[in-house]
Amino acid sequence: MKNFSVTFLFLLAFLGAGCQDRLEYSIVIHGGAGNITPEYISPESASAIEAKLSEALDRGTRILASGGSSLDAVVDVIRIMEDSPLFNAGKGAVFNHAGKNELDASIMEGSTLNAGAVTGIGDIKNPITAARIVMEKSPHVLMMGAGASGFAARHGAEIVDSGYFFTERRWNDLQKKIQKDTVEKYGTVGCVALDRNGNLAAGTSTGGMTNKRFGRIGDSPIIGAGNYANNNSCAVSATGHGEFFIRYTVAHDISALMQYKKLTVVEAAREVIHKKLGKAGGKGGVICVDKYGNMAMEFNTAGMLRAWGNSKGDRGVRVF
Amino acid sequence: MKNFSVTFLFLLAFLGAGCQDRLEYSIVIHGGAGNITPEYISPESASAIEAKLSEALDRGTRILASGGSSLDAVVDVIRIMEDSPLFNAGKGAVFNHAGKNELDASIMEGSTLNAGAVTGIGDIKNPITAARIVMEKSPHVLMMGAGASGFAARHGAEIVDSGYFFTERRWNDLQKKIQKDTVEKYGTVGCVALDRNGNLAAGTSTGGMTNKRFGRIGDSPIIGAGNYANNNSCAVSATGHGEFFIRYTVAHDISALMQYKKLTVVEAAREVIHKKLGKAGGKGGVICVDKYGNMAMEFNTAGMLRAWGNSKGDRGVRVF
C-alpha cells in the first residue's frame, strides 16, 4: 500500500509537470540587440522605434487573438518592420563592403518542422515573404542570390530596384545618432509566436552586417542558428554577432536543452546566451516562446529592442 | 559508515562512467549514402570506389598515427576524394538545373567550435580548403559564391576554370552505371576524426544535388546540419537529402542527445537517422566519432560508402 501511494504521488507529479496550462496565444518581437542606450539613441529615435514596435505587436496580437496562425502573425509582424527604415532589415538594410545590400530571412513552423530561408538577395522588398515562398512553394529550405530572388518573384514576391534600399535623408539623420558597430550591426528583426492551435512559428530577417565582406552569410537564414521552431519545445529568433550564433547553433541548442535536459525556456535561453555565448565573447540576444506560451527575452548586450504580448493581457514594449 | 560507503560507490561509478578509455585516434570517412547496391554499381566501379576510399583512409590514418591533428587528417582525406571523379564533390561534382556546378563544403574543430564553410562556388578546386581558409583567415563562418571564391583564392586556394568540373568519358561511363537520383544525388563526401590530443574535427564537401534549382543550398555547408564537431560530445558528417538534414539540425541534434540526454554516439545517431528522419521520410546517413574514439555509421538508405580505422588496429572499407 505504501509503495502504491508513492507511485501514485510520483505519477501525479509527473502528470502535473507535463500538463502545464497553455496560454491561448503569446508573441514576442525583437528589433535587434546591441549598444542600445540613451547615450546612442536620441529621445526622438527611441519614440519612433517604440511606436513601430507597438504597431507591429498590435498587428501580431490581433491576428493571434482572432484565431490566425502563428505563421501569419510572424510574417505580418516582420513585414511591418522590414517596411520601416528604423531596423536593419528590408528597407533599412545596411550596406556591405561592396556598397550593396545582401538581405537574409528565414521562417519555420513548429508543427511540421517545415522551414524556408533566403540569403544574399538584393531586390525583394520583403525577404520574410521570400522565405515563406521557399518553404511553401519549393522543395528546398535555403536558396541564395539571384536563384532565390527569381524563384520568389515568380511566386509573387514584390521586386524592388536597388534604389529602394537607399537611405533617405531621414534615415541618414537617424543613423548619425546611432553609433556604428552597435545598432547598425545588430539591428536584425524577428518574431516568435504561439497560436490558439498550439502551433509555434519563428521568423528572422536582416540586412546583414555593415561593411561585411561580399558573400558573408550570418545566422539569420540558418535554421538552428538564428531561427528555430518545434512544437515539442519552443520557437526562437536570434540577433547578434552571427558567426557565434552559427558556431553555437544557438536556436536549436535552446530547444535541445528544453527537450533533453528539461530546462525551462528561460533557463535554456540564459544558459546559451549568458553562459555559453557569454564565455566565448559572442554578443547578442534571443526571443523565445515555449509550447505553453511562456516567454524568454535574454541578451548579453547593453540592450535589445523588444515587445511582447499574450492572451492573459500582458503587454510590453521596450527600447531601453 | 554505511552512508559513506554508498557515497563512495556512487563516486566510483560516476568516475568510471566519466573516465571511459580514450583511443589514441579514430577516423571515419563516407562517400555518400543512397541506393548503393550491386544492382546499380558494377564490380569495376565498386573496385575503383573501394580503392579510393582505402587510399583516403590510409592517408588519414597515417596523419593521425604520427601525431597530426584531426583537422589536417580531415582536410587531406577530403581533398583526395574531391580530386577523384568518383564522388559528388570537387572534380566529380554534379550539374545543377542551369548546367553549372555549385559546390559547398564545411569544416569544424571540436576544441574551439571554430568553423568555416563555403557555398555556391564554381571555380575552386578543393572546396574543403576554401572552407578551412574561411575558418582560419576570415572573421566569418559562412561565405557564398564569388565573394567566397575570391577570398579563398587571395589566400592561396587553387582556382580552376569550369572545364575542370566537366566530366571525362570515364566519368560519364561510370555515371551510366549509377542510377540517377541515388548515388548522384547522395554522393557527398565527409570525414570525422579524433586525434592523439583528444581533438575532434569534422568536414563535409559536396557537388550539390543533380538538377537542383539554381541557388539551392543543402546541408553540407550548414554547421549543425551537415557538419558539427564538439570536444564535449562528438564529430559528425552527414550525407543525404539535405533539406531534411537542415530542418532536423541533424549533426547538432546527435551532439545534443549525447550531451544532454547521455545517449551513446551509436544510440544518438540511430535515434536521429532511424527514428526522427526515418519517420519524416528523410533519406541519408551520418558518420560520427565521439570524444573517446567510438564510431557510429548509421544510414536509412540501401547503402553508404564508408571506411574507418583507429589506433586499436580496427580497419574497414565498405562499398556494399
Per CB-CB distance under 8 Å, the chain B contacts of A108 are 247
The answer, for A214 touching chain B at a CB cutoff of 8 Å, is yes
What DSSP state is assigned to residue A124? Answer: B
Q: What distance in Å separates the CA atoms of residue A74 and residue B10, rounded to the nearest whole number?
A: 49
Question: B103 in a domain, yes or no?
Answer: yes
B8-60: per-residue pLDDT in tens? 555 555 554 556 899 999 999 999 999 899 988 889 989 999 999 999 999 99
Cell of B31: 562517400
Say if the Cβ atoms of B139 and A243 lie within 8 Å: yes
Is the pLDDT confidence value at A169 over 60? no
pLDDT score, position A161 = 86
Answer whether B144 sits within 8 Å of A145, measured CB to CB: yes
Q: Which residues of A touch B217 (CB under 8 A)?
A: 119, 140, 142-144
Asked if the Cβ–Cβ distance from A224 to B249 is below 8 Å, we say: yes
What residues of A are labeled active site?
Answer: 188
Q: Does A258 touch chain B (CB under 8 A)?
A: no
Higher pLDDT, B99 or A93: A93
Does B120 sit within 8 Å of A212, measured CB to CB? Answer: no
Residue A143 lies in a domain: yes
Q: How many domains is chain B partitioned into structurally?
A: 1
pLDDT tens-digit series, residues A117-136:
999 998 999 999 999 999 99
What does pTM read for this prediction?
0.91
A148 — contact with chain B (CB < 8 Å)? Answer: yes
Quick check: A173 pLDDT over 50?
A: no
Q: How confident is the model at residue A18 (pLDDT cuts 50, 70, 90)?
A: low
Model pLDDT, residue A67? 98
- Is pLDDT of A170 > 50? no
Specify if B263 maps to a domain: yes
- Residue A189: per-residue pLDDT: 97
Residues A251/A269, Cβ–Cβ less than 8 Å: no
- Based on its alpha-carbon atoms, the radius of gyration of chain A, rounded to whole angstroms, reads 19
Q: Tell whether B190 is covered by a domain.
A: yes
Confidence of residue B235 (pLDDT cuts 50, 70, 90): very high
Q: What is the pLDDT of residues B139-173, one digit of tens each?
A: 999 999 999 999 999 999 999 987 787 665 445 54
In a domain, B5, yes or no: no
Nearest CB to A115: which of B148, B247, B261? B247
Is B145 near chain A, with CB under 8 Å?
Answer: yes
Of B114, B148, B246, the CB nearest to A142: B246
The phi and psi torsions of B162 (rounded to 5 degrees) equal -60, -20
Residue A158 main-chain phi, psi, to 5 deg: -75, 125
**Cα(A174)–Cα(A85) distance, rounded to whole angstroms?**
9
Report d(CA B186, CA B241) in Å as an integer.
7
Rounded to the nearest integer, the mean pLDDT of chain A is: 89
Interface of B with A in 223-242 (CB under 8 A): 223-225, 228, 242
What is the residue-wise DSSP string for A215-251? TEE-STTSBTTTEEE-TTSEEEEEEE-HHHHHHTTHH
Residues 149-188 on B with a CB inside 8 Å of A are 150-151
Strand pairing report for B103-109 and A189-194 = unpaired
Within 95-124 of A, beta carbons closer than 8 Å to B belong to 108, 113-115, 119-120
Question: Which chain A residues contact residue B280 at CB under 8 A?
Answer: 113
CATH number of the domain to which B218 belongs: 3.60.20.30
Name the residue among A144, A214, A252 with its Cβ closest to that of B224.
A252
More confident residue, A161 or A24: A24
Please state, as a whole number, how many other Cβ atoms lie within 10 Å of the Cβ of residue A269. Answer: 28
The mean-pLDDT minimum among A159-173, A284-298, B207-221 falls in: A159-173
Contact between residue B230 and residue B242 where contact means Cβ atoms under 8 Å apart = no
Contacts of A237 (CB under 8 A, 6+ apart): A30, A190, A191, A192, A202, A203, A204, A226, A227, A251, A286, A287
Using a CB-CB cut-off of 8 Å, the residues of chain B touching A139 are 243
Which element (helix H / strand E) includes B183? Answer: none
Is B230 a residue whose pLDDT tops 60? yes
CB-based contact, B281 to chain A, within 8 Å:
no
Mean pLDDT of the region A298-315 = 97
Residue A12 located in a structural domain: no
Domain that holds residue A274: 24-318
- Residue B78 forms part of a structural domain: yes
Residues from chain B that touch A214, judged by Cβ atoms under 8 A, are: 146-147, 150
Is residue A6 one of the residues assigned to a domain? no
Ordered alpha helix ranges (H), chain A: 2-18, 43-65, 70-82, 127-137, 145-154, 169-176, 242-247, 250-261, 265-270, 278-280
What integer pLDDT is reported at residue B313 of this predicted model?
97
